[in-house]
Structures are given as C-alpha cells and as structure tokens.
Structure 1
Amino acid sequence: MKISQFVQVRNTTVHYRESNHYKKGEVVSAYGFLTPALVLATLFIVLPIIFAFTYGFTDYYLLKPNDKHFTGLENFKRMLTDEVLMQSFLNTIKFVVLVVPLQLSMALGLALIVNKRIKGVGFFRTAYFSPAVLSLVVISILWTVMLNPTSGLINEALANIGISKQPFLSSASQAMYTIVVISAWSGSGYQMMIFLAGLKNIDNQIYEAADIDGANVLQKFLYITIPSLKPITMFLVITTTIQAFKLIVQPMVMTGGGPDYSTITILQYIYEYGFRHRNVGYASAVTIMFTLFLIIVSIVIKKLFREEEAA
C-alpha cells in the first residue's frame, strides 16, 4: 500500500471514530434534555391514565384507599341511569357544537382584519390576542361581575338604550349561551394568530391572477383563501374541539354548574364525584368512557377532512 493511501485510510478511520464519539455524546445529551419532560409526563399523564383504568373497575372511596374491591362493570352500568351525568354530557355536546364554529369564525375574521397592511395594525393584533394570555379564572370572574343581573356593566348599558336587564348567568335558558360567547371571545385570539400565519403563507401572486381574471372579494375568499387554509383549519377544528370538550373553569367559577344543572359539564361532573363526593371509582369509570369518546371524535374529524381532501 502506498503511503498516501495509508494516510487516507488512517484519517478516515480516525474521523469515523471521532464521529461515533460525537454521536454518542449527542445521544447522551439528548436523553439528558428529555429526561425531565419524560419524568413529568410519566407522573402526570401516564400514571394517572393507568390508575384511572384500574380504579374504574373498583368501588374505590377516597377516604378508604385500602378498602377497595373489584366491581367489574357496575360503574359503567350505573352511568346508563345517571340523569345528571346524561345532562352534563348533553351540556358539553351543546357547548362544543356552538363554540367551535363561533370561535373559529371569529378567529378567521380577526385574522383577515389584522392581515391588512394598515397603520397601527400591530396594536390590534396585540389587543385581539390579549384575552388568550389571561387566566380563565380571571376572565370568568371579570365577566361574572360585568354580567351581574342588577348592577353589572352590561345590564346598565342595556338599560341606557331601553333594553330590559337580562339575567344572563342566573337563567337556565341563557347561562350556557353566555358561557359560549365568553369562551369564544377569550380563545379566538390564539386561533387568530395561527390563521394569520396561514394567510401570510399564501402567495400574493395567486390573488393578483384572480384580480386579472375579474374575481371579486367573495370569490377570492371562497376559492383561494379557504382551500389554502384547509390544513390549518383541520388542525384548529381538532384542537379546538378537544379543548371545548374539556370545559370546566368557566361554569365552575361563573355558575357552579347551575342553574338547574344547565351548565354542568362532563369534566365538572367528574371533579364533583371524584373530589367532593370522593367516589374515585365511579369518577374514573366516567373518565375512561369520556377519553374513549374523545378518541373516536378525533378519528372521525380526521377522516372527514381526509375524505373531503380526496374528493
């Protein structure tokens, strides 16, 4: 072997060894960074799921943790005759059906507004997004005060323009709709920013070509903007739907689930039975069924979007 070839082989071997050394170091560093997140995910996500599936088939009572017995499907059979559970489930479905289209419509509308190149648009972006960074508890308390049926700011404003004061949160027929509007307002800022990012990625030359072809504003919105935002819309529909099903803070703070169980949600029901009534076994069984329901909903939404894209 020539000296030049030997040096080349030797350098390649050294480089390979150093490369392997660096790769091993990178792997160790990667696992080091991942470990805290994995530990937290195990403690607060994986283990609770395992415990829920375990306790759901028992009569576990929180004050008697060592006195639990396997009950099979008794907890699941009990759900079929639980009227309050059925009411909470229907309330949750009603909230999701109303809030998801309303919130996404508001978000898209705001995104279209702040996407314009006008002076001071940065201020409006911040103003529209600001409710998304506020605590839901703070927002709920603020709106509870503003919607007070006797001295609230909203009712005072209505009285000044000749409209009678409304009960809002103290009315079984108005409470859920009020919570829907407040929730859509508080969450639309986050979806607005995602829609705005999608609008920025649409090539402006497409709109210019549409202008040359004589397309009006509505036609450009229907045939350019909406199709271009389909992937983002699918993502937002799925995430917003799941978040809507997890409604608990607003009704707990604003109405306590009332009046007459008109605003109690499935998560609030689980909390009530699990922590206030201390019936962890039954609450875990409800949690299992609710989790399976959410998985099915997510799969159905994805399938519907995929079929629409294929068509």
Structure 2
Amino acid sequence: MHKLYSNKKVIFSLMAPGLFVFAAAILAPILLSVYYGFTDYSGIGKSSFIGLDNYRTLFQDSVFWTALRNSLFLAIGFICIQHPLAMLTAIKLDQLQGKAEGLFRCIFFIPNVISVAVIAYLWKFIYNPNFGLVAKVLKNLGFTGQLNLLGSGNAIWSVLVVLIWHGFGWGMLIYYTGVKNIDPVMYEAASIDGANGRDIFFHITLPLMKPVIQVNVTMAVIAALKQMETVYLLTAGGPGNETQFMASYLYKQAFQSYKYGYGNSISVMFIVICLISTVALNRIFAERGE
C-alpha cells in the first residue's frame, strides 16, 4: 500500500478528477472574467479589447464606491453585532442541555432554511408604511406620522437588519459547534479554582474559540461582499442606488445594462478584495495568537 501511494502516477490519477473540476468550475471562469474585464463586450455579439478603460471607469464610478461601502458596512455589522450575539446564544444553548437545547437550536436556525424570496417579501410586508407590523407597533406607541423604512435615508439600515437577522443562524451554529468541542473538564477545573462566568469566558472559551472565530469572521466578510439575492428582491438596490452592494451592482451592470465587460471588471475587483480581506484577517489572527 505504501508503494502504491508513493507512485506518482497513482497520486496524479487520484488528484486529476478534483483538479479537473477545480479548473473547469473555478479557475476557467475567473480567467474568462479577467479577459472580459478588458473588453467592451455587451453579452451579445462581438467584443473589442479596450485595455484598462473599464477599470478607469470603475474607479470614477460613485455607485461602485457606494456598493463597496455598503458591503463593508454590512461586514462590520456581521462582525460587531451578529457574531457577538451568535456566540453568546451558542454558549447559552450549550448550557441548556436536554430537549430545550435542540428546540431552541432549531428555532434560531429556521430563517436560514426559508427561501430567500419568502424572507424578502415577508420583510417587505413588515416594513410596509401603511399596514406593516412596524407601522402598527409605532401607531400603538402613539407615533402618528408615516415612516417609510425602505425609503431614502432608511433603506440601508432596514436592509442591514434583515441581512443580519437572516444570517444569524449560520453564525450561531458554527459557534455552537466550537463551544461543543471545548472539553467540559476545563470548565469544571476553572470553577473549582474559583473562576466566575466572566473569567471562564475570557480566559477559556474565547481563546479556545479563536480558530472558529477566524473562520466565521472570514466567511462573514466574504458573505457581505457577495450579498445579492435578498437585497435584489427587497429593494433592487434602491431607492436610487442607496442599497447597492457589490454583487447586486455587478448583476445590474452585466445583465440589465448589458455592460458585460464592465460587470466582469467589477467581479475581478470583487475577487481581489476578497483575497486581500482573507490574507489581512489571517495576518491579524496570527498576530493576536502570537
């Protein structure tokens, strides 16, 4: 068996299917995207090579910078609001034990198994200024005006609430898995030594959860950058372009404005930003670990 797995031909034959799938499904589309980013291709007919024109236009495009700002704003919301709440919820679930633990774990994860279309239209009704749930609650509290939560100035905050709520279950489940992998003996030893809940969290749970936090934060940043479906169904990037995100703006340029080449230049920037974010986060966590 050792001779078999040390044979280069056998190793290559085992790796070949995976390499082929990777090349066909990931590498080839990325290379094509880079190529089309240097053209004026509309998605139909022929294209012409225009060099860096798309990228020059991109850096002068105020909507692109709005989309990038919204994506980064959402990433901060995930990291600073969603993840602390998800981690605390995971710790509390671990402490529940029994049937209650499984029940609440399922309840918190329900939004993640509901269709994105259902989520978007559900929140449209909740935010409706005439008959929505928020409007009725405000009316019962004595608010007499009409508040359009998907209107100008409010839409981005409303969208952030939906996205943070919708993705809460995944973050919680990942942290819950991390908490479950911590040896209970460590908690028992800390309790015997007189450590309180705060000490246990900061000196045992948090340090041991570092790899899980790193994965979850990296996934949150990438998820914020590629956010598209919920935003498109909820506001379609409006009003104006206030709620444009990078992925939704890419879709709009490539498939609605028929600027396929320009849309691919946005996708290249998207890949570059994701790579930079991943490397930066890995460096930050490595330095904290040291």
Query: Given the two structures, how large is their TM-score scaled by the length of structure 1?
Result: 0.84
Residue 191 of structure 1: how far off its partner (Å) = 1.9
Please say if 1:77 is aligned against 2:59: no
In structure 2, distance between residues paired with 1:60 and 1:214: 68
The residue correspondences of 1:106-121 to structure 2 (distance < 5 A) are 106-116=85-95, 117=97, 119-121=99-101
Residue 307 of structure 1: how far off its partner (Å) = 0.4
Q: Secondary structure at the match of 2:167?
A: helix
Q: How many residues align?
A: 287
In structure 1, distance between residues paired with 2:58 and 2:12: 48
What are the superposed Cα offsets for residues 169-191 of structure 1, whole Å, 9 maximum, x if unpaired?
Answer: 2x232211222121121112122
* Bigger Cα displacement from structure 2, 123-132 vs 37-46: 37-46
What are the superposed Cα offsets for residues 30-64 of structure 1, whole Å, 9 maximum, x if unpaired?
Answer: 57xx84x7666544433221211111111112222
Tell whether the 8 Å contact from 1:100 to 1:244 is kept in structure 2 after alignment.
no
* Bigger Cα displacement from structure 2, 196-205 vs 288-297: 196-205
In structure 1, distance between residues paired with 2:140 and 2:19: 57
What are the superposed Cα offsets for residues 80-114 of structure 1, whole Å, 9 maximum, x if unpaired?
Answer: 22122222222222222223322212211221121
Residue 27 of structure 1: how far off its partner (Å) = 7.4
In structure 1, distance between residues paired with 2:249 and 2:44: 19
Q: Secondary structure at the match of 2:162?
A: helix
Tell whether the 8 Å contact from 1:75 to 1:285 is kept in structure 2 after alignment.
yes
Tell whether the 8 Å contact from 2:72 to 2:224 is kept in structure 1 after alignment.
no
The one of 183, 187, 199 aligned to 1:219: 199
The one of 118, 143, 148 aligned to 1:167: 148
Aligned position for 1:246 = 226
In structure 1, distance between residues paired with 2:131 and 2:270: 39
Aligned position for 1:61 = 42
In structure 1, distance between residues paired with 2:248 and 2:99: 45
The residue correspondences of 1:47-196 to structure 2 (distance < 5 A) are 47-64=28-45, 66=46, 68-116=47-95, 117=97, 119-164=99-144, 166-169=147-150, 171-196=151-176
In structure 2, what residue type is equivalent to 1:251?
V
Q: Which runs of 5+ in 1 are unaligned?
A: 1-14
Larger Rg: 1
